[in-house]
Amino acid sequence: METLFTPVQSLLGGALIGLAAVMLMGLMGRIMGATGILAGIVAPSNRSEWTWRTVLLIGMVSGPAAVLLMTGAMPPVQVPVTTPMLILGGLTVGIGVTFGSGCTSGHGVCGMARLSPRSIVATVTFMIATAVTVYVIRHVIAG
């Protein structure tokens, strides 16, 4: 499977994620963990919690629409796995988020920036698990 090297787009995307995380922390005193934000939409503690979380989630998923407006074409999306694999991956991530008390955005972006030891360990664990999973899927299972 070929992957594209996109350093400019990756740098800009990372900068925007970092800016959003800093703004959320500075303006709302909140950590930008995508899973926690989504969980707060499903079961909000009050109306204002639901509002900012919904606005942030809309911003997270509106990227393709922004690309369409700027370029006149939707960005290409390729999903190189089957639907059952996507479901299995989603369930696995959900279990990991539950046991890890947070997701890659919360630990990897915000926790690492705060030098949180728990987030550093969690992020190293994510990366090792990712490398092992990719190796097993591509080289052991796929042959």
Write the burial class of residue 46 (CB in 10 Å: 0-12 exposed, 13-18 middle, 19+ buried).
exposed
Structural domain contains residue 1 = no
Structural domain contains residue 2 = no
d(CA 88, CA 94): 10
Q: Residues with Cβ < 8 Å from 24, sequence gap 6 or more?
A: 30, 31, 32, 56
Structural domain contains residue 33 = yes
pLDDT of 44: 83
Domain count, the chain: 1
Structure token pair of residue 131: 């490398």
Query: pLDDT band for position 1 (50/70/90)?
Result: low
Closest alpha carbon to 137 in 99, 82, 78:
82
Instruction: Read off the pLDDT of residues 60-100 as tens digits, 9 standing for 90 and up.
Output: 889 889 989 999 998 888 888 889 989 998 898 888 888 88
Query: pLDDT band for position 2 (50/70/90)?
Result: low
Structural domain contains residue 104 = yes
Instruction: Read off the pLDDT of residues 17-73 as tens digits, 9 standing for 90 and up.
Output: 889 889 999 998 888 888 888 888 988 888 888 999 999 899 888 988 998 999 999
Query: pLDDT band for position 143 (50/70/90)?
Result: low
